Structure 1
């Protein structure tokens, strides 16, 4: 037995943890067997509305925007307790249908909501701008007394002794934390699967991945179990799952939002920074989070935050965007190619200037990113796996086979990164573009185990640019989005991605694209996204 009282083998630890998670769901929020969707029902997003299991008020609350929830709570139309209870129930349903949670904090959330209601009743004032708003958190955000396993068995039953800086900040603003969401092992796989909780599925099609590493968040939000969630991104971990579930996500530049105090299996790796950011069903929630967090002066909590106040940005009536049709390594699959063509056509009709953007430096930047991830020869990961004999998952074979770079080689790689960033900045400046429009991933949907290419997002982690993944408002049509036309593949990876594409398997899935601005241009990329959405 381990010191925590949990058996010392990873399989036994996993079983105990999974049972504890299910047991934390109150019996009244466990879906009755007579209305439980069968495994053959792939799209479970209609369940809350069609099942008759949710009250009209619960459906109204969980379908509302964050701004509407705040207004209704602050004016006593809804109590914070009613709002929290509705989201707890819908999150419980989401977990039972997609396996999206890692922690259920229902009891403490309801207690917190009750305190907020009492405060408002006694003082006629709110605690802060997010008073009464339920916010879901990716598993790696520490909350005192709660595990942050990041999908690693050795970290089960080792509750946090401190809060992450962003948790303290949001809590001071009045937020209610009610769930933490599942991630892949060490948060370093583009699909959400680990040896502790298993695989999270996409609620729009349970045969498909919800992406990773913030895939528990994306599944929960797409199901309606969260109005606003917080994830992280080191190579696309916000944008990839957002793209695959048809929601919004903002990848900020490092230093804009606080990152101090979050759990990481690669702690100390700072050659490419992990950042945190919002995920939501609408751009309004993205802006609410970003503006609120910055206005709470995160640089006073996290020394790595930039003391940059929130700015009012006017992008003007006409954007100049570079459109990157492919990244030089893997072409988008037919649905994403169509999405790019249709969005570009609508932007041009709306008067925006669109120029072609060549993927210069992208392959070099991807190579640098992947080397950074394994620069320690996989030692950090192996040190966490070995005490409980947990195997390295096949998706992380690169960590098993990696050779440690050494300090000199790492420094040389960082010099290469600096050169790439400088050359890319010069390209953007000389072209006079406001931003770049491109795919978020090559695919509109991916069957489990088949996600292969992170370059469309990961390159912008190397550059540290602000980026948003946004849904285009259209979906895959198997009659229109036929398999590729036989063009010569750009690479072996391109050949694999195109061979995996099956129009029937992803029929009906939402299509998303990525809009990229410069470094520390969060306000600008939000305003540009609004402009693009108006054109659509």
Structure 2
């Protein structure tokens, strides 16, 4: 079969997996020009009040109701399956539908509770969505490639085993891109840093995932299926990856930013990542990690502490035996602010959000200093080179069996040439030196964290996401980084395009030229808080401090 036929068959199978009673009736199906569909569950009449109550309840409360026997796993699971089915019809966010096996698991969990009076693990009955990269026995993990369709996994990812053992119900997998590199980087050292990657979830098998807050805009990538599903309300906690194929620097933080939800890019070794499918298997110059995505910071912390509490180092050889620690926050905090990275200026809503948040932190008594992007350009040049170090062989191996072409976003893989071993080792030495320089500067300045944009955009029209530098740097450094909505929304009156902008680069000029205040009006803006390596608990705790400072200045607490 041709790759087109394979993809068409897979899409039809996905469509057919939606139960007939969950197909949106034509008379209430939102028209194409209705951009924001997040209100559909409440406004359409397609969901009961009880279903709306369940999906709007934070995960920690759901677990409490389940553990007390007030709610059944079957009812909760059915509700999230139905909502995910509707989200798929409106945003194209799913890659695999697992409703039947989820309902069977839910019934088993309810039977276990009825028989023993106990829960089966700390995630007992909680529906959790997972990105397509995770292997689940008997289910495809195509990562958007036609050659991986109808090639079901014969083993679980270690995280999947951990979640199932903790009682979680896995009910769907979510869409990803197949590639992001927009332009091939110049070899090794460059004075003209160009576009790196397109952070949008689109591939030749499933097509494009859209943003439920505005379907003309991207939900980001590569965990864009997860961000879309969560923003719509079809999942309370989902799991994505950061620098897992398609190897994007910011695969958790960017989609969270595009949809206004929370996530953490953890330090490598805190969460299990073994046996996760990757298109660049064996690439370890920049480590892949996975992490939670959710609507609240509390749910992120719940997931992180619960997963680490299961001692993942006993099943993943690269997990570190570090228990989840309680953090006592120092007062005040000293925060370094990165206003721009020397390569691309944040668009007006992001710049305003950063400025307003900084002022609120100052008003709350925290110390704020400017953080210079001294090593950023070199770190990003290294990152872009690492991505294509195999000369595109890994990607070609996935495309050739079906004759699937390189997508335009994958041009760098197609045109790259393979690095030699010695050349690669020299890059590792350079990476290590840059990491040491960054750490020394952090220590000398005495900062607790870096606050910066998660992306230059609040979000952007499909096909226009052209820069991941604000996130990719911290992948190379392996620092924990939280992407969080800061309470600011893009405003077409307050955030007009810059006048007489002095561009930092040609790419900066292009991004500012593409910016449309009218298009992104009303979209939430995320910022990024970066902590010290392996101090993930502190990064989350400091984010909470910032949110409380913002809320206090806004008069909401």
Q: Does 1:127 find its partner at 2:120?
A: yes
Give 3-state SS (helix, strand or coil) of 1:499's partner.
Answer: helix
Aligned with residue 85 of structure 2, among 73, 81, 92: 92
Give 3-state SS (helix, strand or coil) of 2:4's partner.
Answer: helix
**Normalising to structure 2: TM-score of the pair?**
0.94
Which residues in structure 2 correspond to 1:19-58 (within 5 Å)?
A: 19-58=12-51
Residue in 1 that maps onto 2:290: 276
Cα distance between partner residues in 1 of 2:260 and 2:70: 30
Residue in 1 that maps onto 2:193: none
Q: Does 1:200 find its partner at 2:209?
A: yes
TM superposition shift of 1:42: 0.3
Residue in 2 that maps onto 1:223: 232
Q: Does 1:191 find its partner at 2:206?
A: no
Cα distance between partner residues in 2 of 1:431 and 1:170: 40
Cα distance between partner residues in 1 of 2:83 and 2:13: 19
Q: Does 1:334 find its partner at 2:348?
A: yes
CA contact (8 A) 1:129 1:174 kept: yes
Cα distance between partner residues in 1 of 2:329 and 2:448: 8
**CA displacement, residues 224-248 of structure 1 (integer Å, 9 cap, x when unaligned):** 0000000000110000000000000
CA contact (8 A) 1:133 1:176 kept: yes
CA contact (8 A) 2:336 2:371 kept: yes
Aligned with residue 60 of structure 1, among 48, 53, 64: 53
Aligned with residue 452 of structure 1, among 463, 466, 486: 466
The number of aligned residues is: 529
**CA displacement, residues 336-362 of structure 1 (integer Å, 9 cap, x when unaligned):** 000001000111111110000011100
Give 3-state SS (helix, strand or coil) of 1:15's partner.
Answer: helix
CA contact (8 A) 1:465 1:517 kept: yes
Which residues in structure 2 correspond to 1:41-190 (within 5 Å)?
A: 41-185=34-178, 189-190=198-199
**Normalising to structure 1: TM-score of the pair?**
0.98
Give 3-state SS (helix, strand or coil) of 1:34's partner.
Answer: helix
Q: In angstroms, what is the RMSD of aligned CA positions?
A: 0.8
Residue in 1 that maps onto 2:185: none
Cα distance between partner residues in 2 of 1:79 and 1:317: 43
CA contact (8 A) 2:390 2:418 kept: yes
Gaps of 5+ in 2: 182-197, 244-248, 551-557
Residue in 2 that maps onto 1:348: 362
Q: Does 1:255 find its partner at 2:248?
A: no
Cα distance between partner residues in 2 of 1:531 and 1:89: 36
Residue in 2 that maps onto 1:394: 408
Residue in 2 that maps onto 1:325: 339
TM superposition shift of 1:486: 1.5
Cα distance between partner residues in 2 of 1:419 and 1:498: 33
Residue in 1 that maps onto 2:448: 434
TM superposition shift of 1:186: 5.4
**CA displacement, residues 32-59 of structure 1 (integer Å, 9 cap, x when unaligned):** 1110001110000000000000011100
CA contact (8 A) 1:186 1:264 kept: no
Cα distance between partner residues in 2 of 1:393 and 1:414: 29
Gaps of 5+ in 1: 1-6
CA contact (8 A) 2:180 2:409 kept: no
User: Residue 384 and residue 232 in structure 1: after superposition, are their counterparts in 2 closer, same or farther (change >3 A)?
Assistant: same
Residue in 1 that maps onto 2:320: 306
Q: What stretches of structure 1 move > 3 A for 4+ residues in a row?
A: 186-189
Cα distance between partner residues in 2 of 1:244 and 1:231: 14
